[in-house]
């Protein structure tokens, strides 16, 4: 990735489920699970930089499979954090994804990318949002996002 002035980048680690146990089903059809997950040193790379307007670009081997529209979990993460913090405190940013993990492969790439965007934007925008609030925002995006915010072995 090329770096612009004011840009920062973060590693979005792949997640591996070592054990997964389905414990039930929620009323909305999603499964309740218990899992043991670890994070690898492999993953995607997310870069965030100040911009005149919001931008989202993707490069890398698996870039063609990444949606560039509002269905993208990274953009949903940006928008959810912006809604929580307020638009006046969250100026436009350019988000660049180097997609090294296969899409929909079960390694949590999308969830990890979204979690990395949340962490990166809290830093970029200098927001005073605690871990519990960030986890709440993450959970609104997907069940794996709070786990990916921690990016350490969890049950």
Catalytic machinery residues? 15, 144
Phi, psi of 110 (to 5 degrees): -65, -40
Query: 74 and 95 in contact (C-beta within 8 Å)?
Result: yes
């Amino acid at each position: 990735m090329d770096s612009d002035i004011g840009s920062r980048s973060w590693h979005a680690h792949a997640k591996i489920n070592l054990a997964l146990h389905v414990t039930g089903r929620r009323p909305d059809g999603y499964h309740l699970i218990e899992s043991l997950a670890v994070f690898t040193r492999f993953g995607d790379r997310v870069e965030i930089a100040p911009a005149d307007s919001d931008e989202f670009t993707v490069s890398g081997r698996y870039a063609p499979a990444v949606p560039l529209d509002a269905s993208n979990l990274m953009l949903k993460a940006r928008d959810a954090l912006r809604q929580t913090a307020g638009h006046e405190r969250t100026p436009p940013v350019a988000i660049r994804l180097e997609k090294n993990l296969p899409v929909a492969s079960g390694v949590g790439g999308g969830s990890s990318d979204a979690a990395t965007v949340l962490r990166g934007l809290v830093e970029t925008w200098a927001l005073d949002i605690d871990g519990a609030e960030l986890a709440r925002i993450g959970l609104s995006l997907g069940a794996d996002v709070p786990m990916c915010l921690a990016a350490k072995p969890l049950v």
